[in-house]
Amino acid sequence: MRSVEEQQARVAAAAVAPRPVRVAIAESQGLMCAEEVVTERPMPGFDQAAIDGYAVRSVDVLSVGDGAGEISLPVMGSIEAGARTPSRLQPRQAARVQTGAPMPTLADAVLPLRWTDGGENRVRILRSVRSGAYVRRTGDDVQPGDVAVRAGTIIGPAQVGLLAAVGRDRVLVHPRPRLSVMCVGGELVDVSRTPGTGQVYDVNSYALAAAGRDAGAEVNRVGIISTDPRELRETVEGQVNRNEIVVIAGAVGGAAAESVRTVLSELGEMEVSRIAMHPGSVQGFGQLGRDRVPVFLLPANPVSALVVFEVMVRPLIRLSLGKRQPMRRVVQARTLAPISSVAGRTGYLRGQLMRDQDTGEYLVQALGGAPGASTHLLATLAEANCLVVIPSEVDDVRTGETVDVAFLAQRG
C-alpha cells in the first residue's frame, strides 16, 4: 500500500503548466502573470490637481497667517479634469481646478476649497500652502522603465487597475488548466431524468466539476459516458487530446471498472492501487495519450471521490496554475468530541472549524469521524468547512487532543 505522500509526489511529477497566453486584462483576474509588465510612460503623465481647489504659486500665499492678514487673488479661470488646452498662471493669480485637472504652468500647489471662501472672480485665501501640496507630479506613481506587474504575480483587482493605468489592454498569463470530468456506471442517470429502480442520479460529474472550478481549472463536464469499449476509447481519447487533466469517477472497483481500465491501458500508462488513506483508498492514476496527460480514476462514492479530488487532483491543478503552494492552509485545532480513524491509513474526515472568541484557539467538531459513524454521507460533507487530517498511526483521537485541520473554501 502506497503512502499518501508517495502518491502525491507521483502526481506532482506529472504537472505541466499550459503555455502562457495573452488575454484581455478583463479576463486576467485570478491568473498568474507570465511576463514583466514594464511601463513605457510616466503615471500620471502630467502634473495634476489631487483635490478640488485653487492652483496657486505657493510663494504668493506664504504670508497668510504671519500677521499680514488675509490675502485675495484674482481667479484667472477654471480648469476641468480632461482639459487639453495648456494654461499659464501669472504671478499673484489663482485658477479654480478640479481633481485630476492639469496644473497650469508656474502653479506649484493646490489650495483646498475649505481654505478659501470659494470665490469665482476673486478668491480669499485663509491659509498658506507649501510647494507641492495636493499636487500629483508627473511619474509620482510609475516612471518609464518601472515594472508595473511582475511575472509570478497573481493578478487581482489592483493589478488589473495598474495594467489599465499604464495602457495595457492585454497581458501574458498562465491560463487555467483544462479539466475534463466524466463518470461511468450503469446505474447512473442525469439529474434531468427520473431514476428508475436500481438507478441513482449522477452526482460525481457535477460535484467534481464544481471542485475543479473552485481549484481554478477551466472545466468541461462530460457527464455519463458509455462503457462500450469503442465508444469509451473514442470519448477518453478525445478528452485527453484537448485537456491538461482528465478525471473519471466510478472507474475503480467492480467488473465495469475493470473493462474501463483495459481500454485506458491501450492509451498509455494507468495504474490502480491502494493508497494509505480513507475514504478513497482505491484510486487510479496514469498518463495517457501522446502528451502523457494526467488521468485520475476516482471511486463511485461521491464523498470518497471528492476527498480523493481534494487530496490528489486539486494540488495538481494548483501546480499547473503556477502556484508555489498548492496545498490548503493547515492549522492545529482542539477536538470537541472523540474521532475514530482507520489504523494504517491517513484519515481525511469532514469537520466544522470554529474559533474561541476569548482565546483565539481553533476548535473542531468532526462530522464523519465519531465512533461508529459512516464516512460516506454527502450531506455532512456539504456542512463541512474543513478536513480533519488524522495520521496513519492514529486510530482514535480523544476529546481535547490537537489535530491538523485543512481549510476548505469559505462559503460566502
pLDDT of residue 390: 93
Residues 62 and 75 in one domain: yes
| Residues above pLDDT 70, as percent of the chain | 94
Mean pLDDT, the chain, whole residue set: 88
Query: Please, which residues have CB within 8 angstroms of residue 154's CB and are 6 or more apart in sequence?
Result: 30, 31, 32, 33
pLDDT of residue 381: 65
What range does the domain containing 281 cover? Answer: 4-18+176-321
Q: What digits encode the pLDDT tens for the residues 50-100?
A: 999 999 999 988 877 655 567 889 999 999 998 888 889 999 999 999 999
pTM beyond 0.85: the answer is: no
Given a cut of 50, whether residue 365 has pLDDT beyond it is yes
- In this structure, is residue 65 part of a structural domain? yes
CATH of the domain at 70: 2.170.190.11
Given a cut of 50, whether residue 411 has pLDDT beyond it is no
Residues 39 and 157 in one domain: yes
The single-letter code of the amino acid at 340 is S
Q: What digits encode the pLDDT tens for the residues 208-265?
A: 999 999 999 999 999 999 888 899 999 999 999 999 999 999 888 766 677 888 889 8
- In this structure, is residue 141 part of a structural domain? no
Cβ of 48: how many Cβ atoms within 10 Å? Answer: 21
| Residues above pLDDT 90, as percent of the chain | 57
Given a cut of 80, whether residue 378 has pLDDT beyond it is no
Residues 82 and 224 in one domain: no
Residues 33-55 have a mean pLDDT of 89
Query: Please, which residues have CB within 8 angstroms of residue 358's CB and are 6 or more apart in sequence?
Result: none
Alpha-carbon distance of 133 to 111, in angstroms, equals: 8
- In this structure, is residue 412 part of a structural domain? no
Distances (CA, A) of 159 to 12, 35, 134: 29, 13, 25
- Residues 275 and 248 sit within 8 Å (Cβ to Cβ): no
